[in-house]
Structure 1
Amino acid sequence: MTVANRRTRLNTPSRITPGWVVLVTDDQRLPDPRAAMGRLPPGAGVILRHYGSERRQPMVREVAALARRRRLVLLVAGDWRLAAELGADGLHLPEGMARHGLLAGALGWVWRRRRLLLVACHGPMALGRARDLGADGALLSPVFPTASHPGAATIGPVRFGLWAQRARIPVIALGGMTRQRLRHLPGAVGMAAIGGLVP
């Protein structure tokens, strides 16, 4: 049985619906995400992504409590033990971790607890890997120019649409995204933004 088949057999309920909005936290651009979380609608996602931050431990419990109060979908990036400790709704894997990481513990937690699994992707091979891991969805970036990676090459709407169509899992657009751009981006089930969501 493949990883994807095993995941499907568990019948994990997905909270990824058309138009899904995801806030991605960042040590530099959004060190304290609580105010931004207060502006999100119920059901929106929050990826807690504070790698190695000394402030992470004191803050994460407050972030988790706020997510529960506001009925937000909380995912922890790269640390399934912290996700389990917080009672998070899922796990977000950076692309490098999905490619090279020791994932037995992380995937075991996701499967046993029927949690969401998202994977960061920057191209078609990574999307295929996310699908093979049984991910519920992928964050594909950067779609448009973005302040977090100035001057970086972008995917653009045409390639995004082609890659998303072939991915066979829900694809969330990241990188210079606005709600206006989401409405005209083929293949995007939702959008994510680092640091804060713009109109």
Structure 2
Amino acid sequence: MNRADAEILWEVASVLARDGAKVSRAGPDLPPLLFFTDPDRTPRPWETAARLPAGAGVVFRHFGRADARETARRLREATLARGVRLLIGLDAELAEAVGADGVHLPERALDQAVGIAAARPDWRITGAAHSASALASPGLDALVASPVFAAGGASAARPPLGLKVFADWVAAAPCPVYALGGIDAGKARGLIGSGACGLAAISAIQAAFGPD
């Protein structure tokens, strides 16, 4: 765990959430900080989840891996013990099975949000936005726009939005918007004033909050 980076990420995320709440773009049910998992980059995500601050969130993306249910169960145990919310990526059935707090939908599945929201009004539903056309998608509690900065993984081939375009997206969206992509402790403070309701990351959160 890198305590200095962890403190910066949580501090900035909390500022974004407070600023968002002042203009009705965030609420108490939206975690300020979202840890996105990845089977390759975060092979034991429950260990990081167990070190997140209370009130943070985890988005578990299993991408069809055979150990998805076991990993989800471990994450649910860790998040419940820590006071952290758990969203399951694209798998409402698995979310039901482990008692998750909601789902996260990739951009290609945003049309499922309205139906899921009707069936499970107690869930939080977030969705990915890689294009401006995704911003108007109904049924979402929040969008996760990416990549804000140059990023690795699946976003490596996408050009970064940059802070100006990201802020324009936030202003145009009908719901709160998280920033994802290339965000680390060094860049996080640049998001203050953008209108983001919080920040999300994979490697930066793993490095800051994960075990040594």
For 2:179, the equivalent position in structure 1 comes to: 173
Structure 2 counterpart of 1:15, from 23, 29, 54: 29
Contact 1:110 1:117 (C-alpha < 8 Å) held by counterparts? no
Q: What is the SS of the residue equivalent to 2:54?
A: coil
Number of aligned residues: 178
Q: CA 1:125–1:14 in structure 2 vs 1: closer, same or farther (change >3 Å)?
A: farther
For 1:110, the equivalent position in structure 2 comes to: 120
Q: Aligned equivalents of 1:181 and 1:171: distance in 2?
A: 17
Q: CA 1:176–1:70 in structure 2 vs 1: closer, same or farther (change >3 Å)?
A: same
For 1:8, the equivalent position in structure 2 comes to: none
Q: Aligned equivalents of 1:151 and 1:118: distance in 2?
A: 23
For 1:150, the equivalent position in structure 2 comes to: 156
For 2:79, the equivalent position in structure 1 comes to: 67
Query: CA RMSD, aligned part only?
Result: 1.9
1:56 offset after TM fit, Å?
1.1
Q: CA 1:179–1:21 in structure 2 vs 1: closer, same or farther (change >3 Å)?
A: farther
The runs of 4+ residues in structure 1 deviating greater than 6 Å are none
- Deviation track 1:16-74 (CA, whole Å, cap 9, x = no partner) reads 26xx1110011111122022112210010100101110111222211111110000010
TM-score, with length taken from structure 2: 0.77
- Partner amino acid for 1:35? E
1:137 aligned to 2:142? Answer: yes
Q: Aligned equivalents of 1:121 and 1:103: distance in 2?
A: 16
Contact 1:21 1:45 (C-alpha < 8 Å) held by counterparts? yes
Structure 1 counterpart of 2:197, from 169, 189, 193: 189
Ranges in structure 1 where 5+ consecutive residues have no aligned partner: 1-12
Q: What is the SS of the residue equivalent to 1:66?
A: helix
Hey, which of these two has a bigger chunk of helix by percent? 2
TM-score, with length taken from structure 1: 0.82
